[in-house]
Amino acid sequence: MPPSSPHSGMARTAVVFARLIVAGKDQGVRPFIVPLNDASGAMCRGVTCTLFPARPGAKAIDHALTSFRHVPLPAEALLGHLHGSSKDERKDFMRAIHRVTVGTLCISTSNAIVLRVSGCIAGRYSAKRRVGAPESVPILSFSTQYGPIARILAHATVFDKYAIEAMQLFIENGGKPDMQNVIAGAFKATVCDYTQKALSELVDRCGWQGLYTHNQISEVWLAEKGNSIAEGDFVVLCIRLASEILLGRYAPPKPRDPHCLLARHESGLWDEARQIWASLRGGHRGKEFNARILPLSLPLVRATGKRMAYEAAKDAMVHGNDHGLSMTPQALALYESTCMMEDQSWYVENGIMSRRALLNRDVDAMNAMLPLLEGMINDPAVDAFVNAPMVDQDRLAAFFSSLPSFEGPETECFQAKAKI
């Protein structure tokens, strides 16, 4: 998918990973600097580019398929030493692509602002769209409308704090690539998985208006689908992380409060997975591991990410380092309750809370959030990012007046009345 076509009007150069063989001896997969095309638009010798069609919903660069055949390179094109730094090719390769982990974290941080903007768009539309007669009411007054919007805005605020803390943890663990993989992987899995489900629901809650790209939500939803795959498909990342953690090779950061509800949920899921694995045959590459553990990978890693997000938001609120979006107790409580409602059976099965108690707790959290909802929806800091016509009647009317229009001839009856 990397862009390599000459359409940009500028010379392009790539880092290409290829197997290095010196005097018949395999030196492993190594990185090389390879020119792809020049500013005139000519592809370099041996390089072929096949341009992909545009992706729906994304204003993306020119993704392409690039292939190489007998490309001549000077010796200095090799990045690194001629001979590997160790006898472990895998470690050498992972060290060479360590920036991918940086990208895994960085590219996922956009989810917080995407959720915030999309929640505001849906909220402003829902406040203006009215139903009922003779006394009409805004559709935002219905729990099926304000509920998803409030939860999404609460998550946007929590994820904003989580992003800041994840970046700090990533930097602090600069010499520990395994820990960086855990931090980046857990963050991406948690925010990307939630974002995809949340934006899909917002599109539905805006009816036919939500389907169109000019109202932004469906567009960013599809764009973020690309981000969930770029720099590592988050499900594949979870398979690797969960396997490594169960094998004892990795360990996520420990909970600051092991007794908090999300930490207990996290611990319970990992303990259950370890018990399942202990009963399996064939090791971590066997059929039973594939059938029973791999489907648990995403829920396991997300449980860790949800807990870490909660801790980051709580610390930002308690310790006064609340930069960016304002973290409130109401938003934090609604975030926590939403996470719990996603796995009600675990809390019931472990005797922590009944289904009725979970529901009552969630309704209370939502009701406490509602007085803040109007201010969050109409936050002026978001205005610069909102251009959806459906949020404002005048803007919507101007948008429709700009569309191509086709009109039939006047009826005879109308023409007769006009003459009279």
Instruction: Assess if residue 408 is contained within a domain.
Output: no
- 314 and 274 belong to one structural domain: yes
- 129 and 32 belong to one structural domain: no
Instruction: Assess if residue 145 is contained within a domain.
Output: yes
- 153 and 108 belong to one structural domain: yes
Q: Would you give per-residue pLDDT tens digits along the chain (420 residues)?
A: 788 888 877 889 999 999 998 888 888 889 999 999 998 889 999 999 998 888 877 777 788 999 999 999 999 999 988 875 567 777 778 788 888 899 899 999 999 999 999 999 999 999 999 998 788 999 999 999 999 999 999 999 999 999 999 999 999 998 888 899 999 999 999 999 999 999 999 999 999 999 998 999 999 998 888 888 888 889 999 999 999 999 998 889 999 999 999 999 999 999 999 999 999 888 888 899 999 999 999 999 999 999 999 999 999 988 766 555 689 999 999 999 999 999 999 999 999 999 999 999 999 999 999 999 999 999 999 999 999 999 998 999 999 999 998 989 877 665 555 555
Q: Indicate the number of domains in the chain.
A: 2
Indicate if the alpha-carbon torsion angle 298, 300, 305, 306 is positive or negative.
positive
- 329 and 212 belong to one structural domain: yes
- 83 and 137 belong to one structural domain: no
- 172 and 229 belong to one structural domain: yes
Domain coverage including residue 49? 6-88
**Beta carbons of 282 and 220 less than 8 angstroms apart:** no
pTM of the full structure: 0.89
Spatial distance between the Cα atoms of 146 and 367, rounded to a whole number of angstroms? 10
Q: Answer with the one of 88, 123, 157 that is the final residue of a domain.
A: 88
Angle at which helices 329-341 and 355-377 cross, to 10°: 140
Instruction: Assess if residue 180 is contained within a domain.
Output: yes
CATH of the domain at 357: 1.20.140.10
- 51 and 129 belong to one structural domain: no
Q: How many CB atoms lie within 10 A of CB 69?
A: 8
- 256 and 366 belong to one structural domain: yes
CATH of the domain at 24: 2.40.110.10
CA distances from 237 to 10, 215, 243 (A): 34, 32, 10
Instruction: Assess if residue 219 is contained within a domain.
Output: yes
Instruction: Assess if residue 419 is contained within a domain.
Output: no
- 231 and 366 belong to one structural domain: yes
- 67 and 107 belong to one structural domain: no
- 227 and 312 belong to one structural domain: yes
- 82 and 111 belong to one structural domain: no
